[in-house]
Amino acid sequence: MKDILGNPKFNLGKITLTESALEAVDRGLLVDLYLDRHWRGDHGKGCGADDYGESFSSAYPTALGIVHLITDIDSDHPHTTVLTL
C-alpha cells in the first residue's frame, strides 16, 4: 500500500539531536513530524539536496524555533542531525 505522504527518499541512518533540539523536545517539539517530512522529501524552507548529492537539508519554522535537519547520505553509515535555532 502506498503511503499518502509519499515514499521515503533516502535512509536517515543514525539520528542525533543537538542539546538545543533536545531542549525543544522537552518543551513540546514533535521532532518525529519533522523527521518524517524530511525523510519523504518535503524539505520545508531547506535547500533539499546539495550540489554534490552527498546530503539533504531541511528547515521548518516552528513556535519553538527553526528546526534544521541534515542527513549525510554519501557514506556507508548515513547520519541525520537535528538542531534548532
Indicate the residue type of 13. Answer: G
Q: What Rg, from alpha-carbon coordinates, does the chain have? A: 13
Structural domain includes residue 4:
no
Structural domain includes residue 70:
yes
Residue 4's pLDDT is: 55
Residue 32 φ/ψ, nearest 5 degrees: -60, -35
Q: Which domain holds residue 77?
A: 14-84
Structural domain includes residue 9:
no
Q: What is the pLDDT of residues 26-74, one digit of tens each?
A: 999 999 999 999 888 888 875 555 544 688 889 999 999 999 999 998 7
pTM of the complete model: 0.82
Q: Which helix (H) or strand (E) holds 62?
A: strand 55-62
Structural domain includes residue 1:
no
Residue 75's pLDDT is: 74
pLDDT at 10 over 50: yes
The rounded distance, in Å, linking the Cα atoms of 50 and 56 is 6
- Tally the domains of the chain: 1
Which has more pLDDT, 11 or 84?
Answer: 84
Structural domain includes residue 6:
no
